[in-house]
Amino acid sequence: METHELVVHPAYPPLEVSKVHASIISRDANWLRLRWRIDGAAKLVVPAFAGKGRADELWRATCFELFLMPRGGDAYSEFNLSPSERWAAYDFSSYRDGMENRPSPREPDCTMRKGSSFAIFDAAIPAGAIPVEECEAGLTCVLEEEGGIKSFWALCHPQEQPDFHDPACFTVQLAAPSAA
């Protein structure tokens, strides 16, 4: 399991969230499994259960995201995963351009567990939805806390405003699937 500490964008500090770690748990012929751990989650606002299904603009509330870009390419894919169980997947031909819905052979599985001081969000993305064998990945999240306070977490923040689409944020190497 690869675990990466995410950093908050300094222009959008959290209320109580103190740390976020994102992990690539495993990747095999069937699933890519991911986990985000949020420390200081007592005031985290979790979207209400809505059931599985595609939905746009999930980032407007607590949402977890994965970006995948083939090495040396301009095209990339974005996966948005909500604790509500709603999800979205998009393909871009280049930086924020040519957005289209990305097909998926089945829906991702998402679960959220929230305790008094931390929360865990687990997601499994079907292997058939992953665009390439090996690529560079960006792990991010938007966290909403009580009072509408939103913080933006990523592997890095090279710009003055949060921009998860910035290729400089795709710093994790996602290896080819292991044999299942």
Domain assignments of the chain as residue spans, ordered by start: 2-174
Query: What whole-number distance in Å separates Cα of residue 20 and Cα of residue 44?
Result: 12
Contact between 81 and 126 (Cβ < 8 Å): no
pLDDT tens readout for residues 94-152: 999 999 999 999 999 999 999 889 999 999 999 999 987 789 999 999 999 999 999 99
Residue holding tokens 């390439």? Answer: 132
Closest to 37 (Cα-Cα) out of 126, 141, 152: 141
Q: What is the mean pLDDT of the chain?
A: 95
Amino acid identity for residue 144 in this structure: E
Give residue 132's pLDDT: 78
Two tokens, residue 172? 């994790």
Who's near 100: CB < 8 A, 6+ residues apart? 90, 91
Two tokens, residue 157? 């923040």
Question: Does residue 179 carry a pLDDT above 80?
Answer: no
Query: What whole-number distance in Å separates Cα of residue 20 and Cα of residue 18?
Result: 7
Two tokens, residue 180? 């299942």
Give residue 62's pLDDT: 98
Query: What whole-number distance in Å separates Cα of residue 151 and Cα of residue 93?
Result: 28
pLDDT tens readout for residues 18-73: 999 999 999 999 999 999 999 999 999 999 999 999 999 999 999 999 999 998 88
Give residue 180's pLDDT: 56
User: Helix (H) and strand (E) counts for the chain?
Assistant: 0, 13
Query: What whole-number distance in Å separates Cα of residue 11 and Cα of residue 174?
Result: 29
- DSSP sequence for 80-103: EE-TTSEEEEEEESBTTBS-EEPP
2-174 is classed in which CATH architecture?
A: Sandwich (2.60)
